[in-house]
Each structure stands twice: as C-alpha cells, then as structure tokens.
A and B are shown apart, each in its own frame.
Chain A
Amino acid sequence: MVMTSADVNRNLEESVDVVVIGSGAGGAPFAAEMAQAGYSVLILEEGGYWRTEDYTHRTAEMLKKLYRNAGGTLAFGAPSVAYAEGRAVGGSTVINGGMCWRTPERVLDKWAMEAGMTHISPKEMEPYFEYVEERANVREQDPESLGRDNHLHAEGARKLGWKVTPDRRNQLHCAGANLCVIGCPTGAKQGTLFSFLPLAWKHGAKLIANCRVEKILWKGDKATGVEAYMVDDFNNRSHRVRVHAKVVVVSGGAGESPALLLRSGIRSRSGQLGRNLQLHPNAKAIGIFDEDVSSWKGVHQSHQVHEFIEEGIVLATAGVPPGLIALTLPQYGRAMADLMDQFNHMLINGCLIEDTSRGRVKLGPKGSAILQYNLNDYDFYLLKRGTALAAQLNFAAGAKRVLLPFAHLPEISSPDEIPKIFDPGIKKRDTEVLTVHIMGTLQMGAYPDRSVVDNWGRLHELRNLYVSDASLFPSPIGVNPQESIMALAVRNARHLAGNFPT
C-alpha cells in the first residue's frame, strides 16, 4: 500500500492507468476517485510518510520532516514573501490550519465569466463540496476547544460591530492542541492522510513516498509516464522509478507543478505556464495583553472576520509555537528576552488579502522552482489596511500594544497611532509578508490562447496530462483554498473517469 525509501532497494518500473504526483489536497482526492472508478493508481510523493505518533511539538524537527526546505522557501521580490508548503504524505494538509471554505460564489461566477469555464456554477459545484465536507469531516469546532485567544479576537470584532464567521475545519473533535502547523499530534485533523488516502488505498491505489518526479515523459500530444527517483531529505537520489501510465496527474502545488512541466520541456501556447502566481499575502498584528492569553491552549483558529471580505481582506488568529514567533520578530538579545517573556500574553493574529499582483515560477539550479513575486501598490495598500484593521481589533479587545510587520514601525501602543501605518515612508521592502496559499500558475480556462489547462484540468497541449492543485485557480479565491482544491479534484477526476482516454 505505502512504500518508502526503506522498501525500495533497486530500480523500479511500473505500469498503471493513472500516476498521481503528490498526495495533498489535489492529488489524494483525485487518486481516490480514480481508484474507486476501477483504475489502477500509483501515487508518487516526494516527502516522507509520517503518522500521528511521529508528530511532536519540536518545531525544527517537524519543519525538517514535513515542510519543503524546512519551511525556508521564499518568493523573491519586493518584498520577498516567505511561503510554506508541505512535503510529506498528505502534502500541505498535514501542516495547514484545517480551515475549509467553499469557493465563494462570486469567485465561481468570475471563473465562468472571465475564464469561460463551464460546469462551475455554485449549484453545479455544490455536490462536490458536500462530498468533500462529508469525507473530510468538515464541521465547526466543539466549543470547549476554543482558547482565550479566539475568544478575545471575536470579542474585539464584536465590539467594533464586525461580522464574525465561525470556521469550518476538517477535524474529528479537535481538542485544541494548536500544533496544526507542525502536524496534529492527536490525530484530530482530517487531512488527506485520514480522509482521501485511506479511501484510495482501500480501492487498490499504491503510494511510494520519498519519490521525487524529475520529469514527465511525453511524445507528440501524449504523456507516456514519469521518471522519478527515490530521494532523501536533501533530494539526493538513489534508485530510479519509471512509471508508464495512460494518464499523468500533476499535483505538486503551485510552485512545484509548473516547475515539473517546465523541466520536462512542456510548454503552453498561451505563454502562461508558470505565470499568474498569486499568494494571498498575510501580515501579522500581534496584540499584547495584560491578561493571560496562552494561545497554545486552544484551536489554531475558530473563526474569521469577514466584515471586509468584499474588499479582499480577512482577519483571523493564527497561533503558532514560540520558535516560529521568535523567527519573525525583529528583536534579539535583551529586547527579545523581555518581549518573549510575554509570549503567553500574545494574541497572534493578522490579515490575509486577496491579491491582484502577479508573480511567476521559473526554473532554478537543478530544475528547482524559483518563485518571483512583487506586491503592486494596490495590494500593498490593502495589506496596510488589513494590518490597520487587525490592530484596531486588537486594541478593541484590550491589547496594550500591537506588534506590526513594518521594520520602521515595529509596534504601536494606542489606536491613535494606527494612522502611522499609512505613512508613505513605510515601503514594501520594509514589510514582512508571508503566505501559505500559493496558486494560479497553471490556470484553467476554456481558451487555449490564455489558459494552460482546460475546463477539466487537462493540459491544452497534452491530451492525457492533468493538473490537480491550486495552480488551477484562474484567480485567487480570498479564503483558505483546501476545500476548493479538493472539490475541483473530485469534479475533474469524475469527469476523467467518465471520459478515460483510450
């Protein structure tokens, strides 16, 4: 069922109906659908196979096991954006916060109107969302799992009259360990490791972990398989794995998927392959309170503030371990000691924006993905506005001061100082931006001259090569993407199962 590098001691050659590259939100549901439809399926996953008992609170150890490049990945630009993605069986669903939102109706309508997509209306997508929610156990939190941080955040929003929308998360009675970003140690989070992969395995799918696909093999208008290698943590190769397949599905995420296509020599006549990178830039606003907040005692995030969602701004908490907080703060030495002594008084929160900037993925040394992204002026304004709103919320909740992501305005201590955020002296390069949502680099659409894949995720140029991850999105969606990725994967896989190439 699952093989790892420990099980592979020679070169392998396999023939299957469908080879799926990646086991995250896009790959696993696609594989499960194809396996259920009776096709032979092989999933290749670059990362390792780790289970609940392997997850600990030790941040660095988990970053090395579960994240691509131990989380040290950057989209270069002004400002450079730190982005994170999973590299393990289960992909980013192992390390995300578990938030599940349906693709907003306005976004689906936009995809239909602007990208010419069909069968994508909210009504047509509803069965897929319902299925994913059932399979991944998507529901609101049990009330006792909420920590003080989420209560404070919601109280602040309500005092300001802002709408608080409860999160729905893929979880089975999540108890609030708040270690989601380094692997759920209780087994409550229902990432693909618990939802879609077991289903795929039950129907005969096989998975090889520690197996990095180097290139897609193709001829004319047809993919014929993939060439992969067993790799260690540093991508040092050992044995070769060659797979012959009738269909190839690429689900490596919006950075790795276009890089794989590019290093395989595949091009798109649209010229858009690897372009249109969008990434929901996030900025922090950490409130410091007199009272004990202990953000690590309770769920990672129980709600979002959607008051400004039409503007493209979402506010939310995001509790993370102290090692990760320390990484982002400008202080050191005595100042850091004094600040982190108040770790249990921090409400860690911030904003996410729906960006209009566009970056791209290029090939770097040894065919690696290099991401480039520059925040445009409008998005930078939106990020400042989101940060200002987050600061306002913190003060309304009772914060004594708020730590900000700006090098020359690292903190403010009263709401009167919020206008300083809009000082033109604060530049993009002075701003710390991060993300966990990269998307849009292999956009779907009806028109081959401006999209990379068609309405069902199939490459316009190769008739049996499919993409199934956030690369597909014709635009950012403004909310956490995992449910959208899963629903599109199920939709596209079912279409493929009914129209399997002969």
Chain B
Amino acid sequence: MIDSVAPAATEPLPADFHPPGKRYLGRGTRYILRAMTDVLLPRNEKLRVECTDDLVNFVDNFVRYLPPLLKLGFPIGVWIFQFAAILWSGLPLPFTMLSRERQERYMAGWTESRFWWKRDMMKGLKGVVLMGFYQHPEVMRHIHYDPVSHVQTIQARRLATYGDDIRRRQSES
C-alpha cells in the first residue's frame, strides 16, 4: 500500500476522450455541441490544441453520469441554444449556420446575459467542455501542470523520511 504512486508520467489520451460503447447524445446534438465546443475552445498565440472531436466524446461520456434532471436537460439545453439563435443572434438562423464571428457574439450574449437562467445554462454546458480540455495531456503540459511526477517525487521523499513510522502505524492499525 505504501509503495503506490500515480501512473507513469507519459500517458496517452485518457479513455474519457474516446470512451467505448454506445453514445448517449444523438447525432444532431453532437453536431451542435461540436460547433459550440469549437467556439469555447481556449486558444491564444501560445496555446492551440485542436481537440474538438475528443472533447465532444468526453462530454458525451460525462453527461451520462449526471443526475437524471441534468442528464435529460443537457441535450435539451444544447437544442435550445441552437434554435434560440433564430431570435437572439441578429439573423434568423440557428447557431450552427451563423458565421464564426456571429457565433462568438451570440455565445457572449448567453454568458453575460442579465438573465440568470441563460448564464447558468451556458455555465453547465461550457463547464463540462472546459473541464475536459484542461485534462487533455497536451494542455496540461502547456500550463506546466504535472501532478504525476510531483506525486512520484513527494511519495519517494515521504517514504524515505517517514517510512518506518508509516509502516509501524499501518501494522498497528
């Protein structure tokens, strides 16, 4: 038990990004979600990890675990977002048919809305996408987040410094 450390440092894309088995979200929902994810994806001059499809898979898999109301509500929210664009984007078109610039403006309208329900809905949709993004190994490397080697280092130090006491206490319990 006391020898255990986190898995090896170099690892492939976690299984969350390409889960086996049947998809939860329908093809249409995934199509809209892909367009949304593309706008949400953090990018700047230093960071460009194109992983939209991986993230759609990630979200599809994660949503299955949410409580029943949120699990049902998630795809409904995606479709509301898609078709509310007809009313609120300035053009009578759904989200996926807008230009990129207009998509960005429309999404900002949701995240900065004075209506809490629009902000909350967007927060939920965007939160899952971004949680996935910042678990992507390339992104973790970019922000210099390396818990694997940190855990290996401190666990080795812990055992070297306190190994006897740890073993003694474990045997007592």
A and B co-occur in one complex: yes
Q: Which residues of A contact B (CB under 8 A)?
A: 51-53, 55-61, 63-64, 69-70, 72-74, 79-80, 135, 137, 142, 144-145, 172-173, 175-179, 185-188, 194-195, 198-199, 233-234, 296-297, 321-330, 332-334, 336-338, 340-341, 343-344, 364-366, 368, 407, 427, 429-430
The answer to whether B166 and A323 have CB atoms under 8 Å apart is no
Other-chain residue from B46, B66, B135 in contact with A70 (beta carbon distance below 8 A): B66
Residues of chain B within 8 A (CB-CB) of A69 are 65-67, 70
Stretch of B26-34, B77-85, B86-94, B119-127 that contacts chain A: B119-127
Residue of B nearest to A366 (CB): B68
Please, how many angstroms separate the alpha-carbon atoms of A336 and B46 in the complex? 13
Query: Contact partner of B131 among A53, A60, A178, A344, CB < 8 A?
Result: A60
Distance to closest chain B CB from A392 (angstroms):
27
B42, A344: Cβ atoms closer than 8 Å: no
**A–B Cβ pairs within 8 angstroms, 10 of them:** A60-B132, A175-B154, A179-B151, A322-B134, A330-B123, A332-B130, A333-B42, A337-B44, A343-B144, A364-B68
Contacts of B20 in A (CB 8 A): none
Nearest chain A CB to B118 CB, angstrom units: 11
Q: CB < 8 Å: which of A199, A330, A333 contacts B173?
A: A199
Interface residue tally for chain B (C-beta within 8 Å): 63
Could you mark each residue 36-78 of chain B with 1 if its beta carbon is under 8 Å from any beta carbon of chain A, else 0?
A: 0001111110110000000000100010111111100000000
Per the bound structure, the CA–CA distance linking A260 and B100 in Å amounts to 49
Closest A residue to B123 using CB positions: A330
Set of chain A residues within 8 Å of B46, measured between Cβ atoms: 337, 341
Are A322 and B145 also in contact (CB < 8 A) when A72-B67, A186-B151, A186-B155 are? yes
**B15 contacts across to A, CB distance below 8 A:** 61
When the two chains form their complex, are residues A177 and B154 in contact, meaning their CB atoms are under 8 A apart?
yes
A333 touches B62 (CB 8 A): no
Are A328 and B127 in contact (CB-based, < 8 A)? yes
Q: Are B131 and A323 in contact (CB under 8 A)?
A: yes
B43 to chain A minimum Cβ distance, whole angstroms, is 6
- Residue of A59, A297, A330, A337 contacting most chain B CB atoms (<10 Å): A337
Complex: A198 Cα to B15 Cα, angstroms: 32
Is A61 touching B16 in the complex (CB atoms < 8 A)?
Answer: yes
Report the nearest A residue to B119, measured CB to CB.
Answer: A407
Docked Cα-Cα span, A74 to B132, in Å, equals 20
When A175-B155, A334-B43, A366-B68 are in contact, do A296 and B162 touch as well, CB less than 8 Å?
no
A322 cross-chain contacts in B, Cβ below 8 A? 134-135, 140, 143, 145
Q: How far is the CB of A148 from chain B (nearest CB, A)?
A: 13
14 new A-B contacts, CB < 8 A, other than A144-B157, A330-B111, A332-B130, are A57-B151, A69-B66, A69-B67, A80-B120, A175-B158, A177-B147, A296-B145, A321-B135, A326-B133, A332-B111, A333-B104, A338-B44, A364-B69, A368-B67
Instruction: Give 4 nearest A-B pairs by CB, closest first.
Output: A337-B42, A70-B65, A429-B116, A175-B154
B165 at interface by CB-CB < 8 Å: yes
Which residues does chain B contribute within 8 Å of A144, judged by CB atoms?
157
Given known A-B contacts A60-B135, A296-B145, A187 and B1 have beta carbons under 8 A apart: yes
Residue of A with least CB distance to B7: A56
B145 with A333: CB separation less than 8 A = no
